[in-house]
Amino acid sequence: ARAEQGIDETVLLYTHGQPAQVSVLGHYLGAAIEFVLRDMTRLMAALEDVNKCPMGAAAITTSGFDL
């Protein structure tokens, strides 16, 4: 919603702390949303990888911790 509101709002974008390019706020916010969604997808995949059965977590009696 905010990205749609900022479709005509001009902003100055920076790279390495230096002014780089003029763009619109909606474009910048849309890119930021994509980065957050990508990171969330990766975190969910990592959780799926580590959220396994605790039977192999320690020798003989498992770890004793809820995993």
Per-residue pLDDT, 19 = 93
User: Model confidence over 31-67: pLDDT tens digits?
Assistant: 999 999 999 999 999 998 888 766 655 666 666 666 5
Q: d(Cα 59, Cα 29) in Å, to the nearest integer?
A: 49
Polymer length in residues for the chain:
67
Q: d(Cα 45, Cα 24) in Å, to the nearest integer?
A: 32
Q: d(Cα 65, Cα 29) in Å, to the nearest integer?
A: 41
Residue type, 48: E
H-only helix segments in 1-67:
2-5, 25-50
Q: How many CA atoms lie within 13 A of 63 on its CB side?
A: 9
pTM (2 d.p.): 0.58
